[in-house]
Structure 1
């Protein structure tokens, strides 16, 4: 597997890169090559008075590369100019990446942009699985919220085709996942599920598949607003990562799609893995 790791060279966005356990987790799910990408905004120039952007960027990327290579990955670096989420998506397409990784907070003293807004834009536009790695907020020297990225997964489903695509991510996550909580939210905002779909039975069926892989599972059917209930489940079960379909329109009902997944990215305490429609059919 190949992963694109987007960095703005801030203390926050380098937290995953510098964390050996996080790198080990990526290796456990099959990542072998990392493409480090930093996007230079159009209004930043190397010759700006008092700013050694180019030198600092080169030194930071050299340091990151050494850390990732020492962890056993092949590494390629990319420095591009333009709109961050567009350029990151473009490189992911060009190199055939299986996963895009981005930090969820941090304002770069080098590039003067907010990586959090890039994460939200990627959540709306990425055509490949996107891992939003949650970094500590409000501290000068932040660390990742969870070193073990995939140890405990909360999978939220509306039983749509996109949710099924997200579930297929367990095919590679199972090598790093010990426990999974499967959540379905019933909501009055959407039509009822067809009579032939019993949420409890459907979740139990999915749980059985994971248990065959040795993953401890539990299920939870909740009622209320989808985003609120998924985040309440996160608070209750303390997963290291929430796994959801990122967008698409369910023929059954609109639930874990579009605005809901973006709200989860913005409000979740831990990591979020978003899987777009058709991600595993490439």
Structure 2
């Protein structure tokens, strides 16, 4: 059953914020919290092309030395991950979550998260990892692939955490954002936080009807809701509205506001992930 908040832990500058957002979310949703660190598959036993000037005996010795180094690196990486999870657990407990699960997984990050999808209610990740070449800092480099693969809400944390005081929902009337409105209305996660519904496009009857539906749905659920239709380029308009209204969390669909659906995620979503300075929840 998908009931857990899953938080990806690495050694990036976003790790503390990921812990804080995960703890805040788990408390508000009264959901179990699982901290996960994913290690790349060990490189032991990999085939090496050592042909050339060295002889067979030298090649055997070198292979043994490489295998020994790989084993040492694997042990160091595992201990590094264990210590990160321990620190993350302590931080989450200090934030008021008394019971938290910690797990270390082996394999490729996106595949590991996909295996956990059936138990995931929401995923929390950092905007970027520490080092795209390291086993501990690769969350950011895989972010778009995570969004494409997982069919769960994904909260992308910025470097610092503050409980959101105003939320903007980029609503385009798509099935994804309508489902997102239903989710927000039914979930305790954002209860009590004002929501700004923003549709980018022409102020025509079809857009107005969709927006009115979303506003009524959230208002009936007890949200203080403001609904606006704004013409213009989605990337520019959403950024301007965010700054003007002191928005500190943005909700949007993975493929929303795109004239052409890109290979991975919508162009506006990609832009907002890259450029926005606030945390962002992406819906699938």
TM-score category of the 2 structures, normalised to the smaller one: 0.7 to 0.9
Say whether residues 1:210 and 2:218 are aligned partners. Answer: yes
Which residue in the other structure is 1:155 paired with? 169
Local SS of the residue matching 1:88: helix
Which residue in the other structure is 2:123 paired with? 100
CA shift at 1:25, angstroms? Answer: 4.2
For residues 62-111 of structure 1, what are the alpha-carbon distances to aligned partners after superposition, in whole Å with 9 as ceiling and x for unaligned?
A: 22223334523532222223322221222233xx2111110112415973
Q: Number of residues paired by the alignment?
A: 251
* Matches for 1:1-282 after TM superposition, within 5 Å: 1-17=3-19, 19=20, 23-28=23-28, 30-42=29-41, 45=70, 47-48=72-73, 52-69=76-93, 71-93=96-118, 96-107=119-130, 111=135, 113-135=137-159, 144=160, 146-149=161-164, 151-170=165-184, 171-173=186-188, 175-186=190-201, 197=206, 199-247=207-255, 258-276=266-284
**How far apart, CA to CA, are the structure 1 residues paired with 2:97 and 2:142?**
28
CA shift at 1:176, angstroms? Answer: 3.6
Q: Which ranges in structure 2 are unaligned for 5 or more consecutive residues?
A: 44-69
Contact 1:165/1:245 (CA < 8 Å) preserved in 2?
no
1:152 to 1:25, Cα distance in 2 relative to 1, 3 A: farther
Local SS of the residue matching 2:83: helix
Larger gyration radius, structure 1 or structure 2:
2
CA shift at 1:244, angstroms? Answer: 1.4
**How far apart, CA to CA, are the structure 2 residues paired with 1:86 and 1:69?**
28
CA shift at 1:201, angstroms? Answer: 4.7
**How far apart, CA to CA, are the structure 1 residues paired with 2:248 and 2:256?**
25
CA-based RMSD of the aligned residues comes to: 3.2
- TM-score w.r.t. the length of structure 2 is 0.75
| Structure with the bigger percentage of helix | 2
1:76 to 1:112, Cα distance in 2 relative to 1, 3 A: closer
- TM-score w.r.t. the length of structure 1 is 0.75
Q: Which ranges in structure 1 are unaligned for 5 or more consecutive residues?
A: 136-143, 188-192, 277-282
**How far apart, CA to CA, are the structure 1 residues paired with 2:97 and 2:72?**
36
Contact 1:32/1:73 (CA < 8 Å) preserved in 2?
no
**How far apart, CA to CA, are the structure 2 residues paired with 1:31 and 1:263?**
32
**How far apart, CA to CA, are the structure 2 residues paired with 1:89 and 1:233?**
34
Local SS of the residue matching 1:37: strand
**How far apart, CA to CA, are the structure 1 residues paired with 2:17 and 2:125?**
11
1:40 to 1:78, Cα distance in 2 relative to 1, 3 A: same
CA shift at 1:156, angstroms? Answer: 1.0
For residues 179-219 of structure 1, what are the alpha-carbon distances to aligned partners after superposition, in whole Å with 9 as ceiling and x for unaligned?
A: 111111117xxxxx9x751x335424422332333322222
Contact 2:172/2:200 (CA < 8 Å) preserved in 1?
yes
**How far apart, CA to CA, are the structure 1 residues paired with 2:98 and 2:191?**
17
Contact 1:186/1:224 (CA < 8 Å) preserved in 2?
yes
**How far apart, CA to CA, are the structure 2 residues paired with 1:172 and 1:157?**
18
